Amino acid sequence: MAATLRLEILPHSAHSPDLAPSDFHLSGPLKRHLGGMAFETEDDLISELRNWFDNLDVDFFRVGINSLLSRWQKCIDLHGDYVEK
Protein backbone atom coordinates (compact mmCIF):
# COMPACT_ATOMS: atom_id res chain seq x y z
CA MET A 1 0.00 0.00 0.00
CA ALA A 2 2.79 2.47 0.87
CA ALA A 3 4.47 1.88 -2.49
CA THR A 4 1.16 2.48 -4.27
CA LEU A 5 0.76 5.81 -2.50
CA ARG A 6 4.49 6.59 -2.81
CA LEU A 7 4.85 6.94 0.94
CA GLU A 8 7.97 6.30 2.95
CA ILE A 9 7.37 4.29 6.11
CA LEU A 10 9.46 5.73 8.92
CA PRO A 11 10.52 3.67 11.92
CA HIS A 12 8.90 4.66 15.18
CA SER A 13 10.47 4.34 18.58
CA ALA A 14 8.86 1.95 21.05
CA HIS A 15 7.32 4.90 22.88
CA SER A 16 7.85 8.58 22.40
CA PRO A 17 5.49 10.91 24.26
CA ASP A 18 6.46 13.66 21.83
CA LEU A 19 5.04 11.74 18.89
CA ALA A 20 2.02 9.95 20.29
CA PRO A 21 -1.05 12.16 19.81
CA SER A 22 -2.73 10.48 22.76
CA ASP A 23 0.11 11.67 24.99
CA PHE A 24 0.85 15.16 23.76
CA HIS A 25 -2.58 16.31 22.55
CA LEU A 26 -5.31 14.21 24.12
CA SER A 27 -4.22 13.36 27.66
CA GLY A 28 -3.93 16.92 29.01
CA PRO A 29 -7.38 18.12 27.98
CA LEU A 30 -8.96 14.83 29.01
CA LYS A 31 -7.29 14.92 32.43
CA ARG A 32 -8.48 18.51 32.92
CA HIS A 33 -12.02 17.53 31.95
CA LEU A 34 -12.14 14.52 34.27
CA GLY A 35 -10.34 16.27 37.14
CA GLY A 36 -12.34 16.11 40.34
CA MET A 37 -15.01 13.82 38.92
CA ALA A 38 -15.91 10.55 40.59
CA PHE A 39 -17.74 7.68 38.93
CA GLU A 40 -19.76 5.03 40.68
CA THR A 41 -19.53 2.55 37.84
CA GLU A 42 -17.39 1.85 34.82
CA ASP A 43 -20.46 2.53 32.67
CA ASP A 44 -20.69 6.04 34.16
CA LEU A 45 -17.09 6.70 33.20
CA ILE A 46 -17.61 5.32 29.69
CA SER A 47 -20.69 7.50 29.29
CA GLU A 48 -18.76 10.61 30.33
CA LEU A 49 -15.90 9.76 27.97
CA ARG A 50 -18.28 9.25 25.06
CA ASN A 51 -19.98 12.54 25.84
CA TRP A 52 -16.63 14.36 25.98
CA PHE A 53 -15.42 12.90 22.69
CA ASP A 54 -18.78 13.50 20.97
CA ASN A 55 -18.64 17.18 21.93
CA LEU A 56 -15.10 17.85 20.75
CA ASP A 57 -14.90 20.19 17.79
CA VAL A 58 -13.32 18.83 14.61
CA ASP A 59 -10.62 21.50 14.97
CA PHE A 60 -9.41 19.78 18.15
CA PHE A 61 -8.42 16.77 16.06
CA ARG A 62 -7.11 18.88 13.18
CA VAL A 63 -4.75 20.73 15.53
CA GLY A 64 -3.52 17.44 16.98
CA ILE A 65 -2.76 15.92 13.58
CA ASN A 66 -1.09 19.10 12.31
CA SER A 67 1.03 19.27 15.47
CA LEU A 68 2.09 15.68 14.92
CA LEU A 69 3.52 16.57 11.52
CA SER A 70 5.74 19.30 12.93
CA ARG A 71 6.78 17.07 15.86
CA TRP A 72 7.78 14.30 13.45
CA GLN A 73 9.93 16.78 11.53
CA LYS A 74 11.57 18.01 14.75
CA CYS A 75 12.26 14.42 15.76
CA ILE A 76 13.85 13.71 12.37
CA ASP A 77 15.93 16.91 12.61
CA LEU A 78 17.06 15.91 16.13
CA HIS A 79 17.94 12.38 14.93
CA GLY A 80 15.29 10.75 17.13
CA ASP A 81 15.86 12.76 20.29
CA TYR A 82 12.83 13.98 22.23
CA VAL A 83 11.09 17.00 20.73
CA GLU A 84 10.01 18.59 24.02
CA LYS A 85 12.33 18.65 27.02
pLDDT tens for 17-67 read 566 666 678 888 999 999 999 999 999 999 999 999 999 999 998 888 888
Per-residue CA distances from 51 to 44, 56, 62 (Å) = 11, 9, 19
Contact 37, 44 (CB under 8 A): no
Q: Is residue 64 part of a domain?
A: yes
Q: How many domains is the chain partitioned into structurally?
A: 1
Give me the phi and psi of 16, to 5 degrees please: -135, 110
d(CA 73, CA 70): 5
Is position 7 within any domain?
no
Position 11 in a domain? no
Q: What is the pLDDT of residue 39?
A: 97
Structural domain boundaries, residue 33: 16-77
Question: Is the residue at 5 inside a domain?
Answer: no
* pTM of the predicted structure, to 2 decimals: 0.60
- Structural domain contains residue 31: yes
pLDDT of 7 reads 75
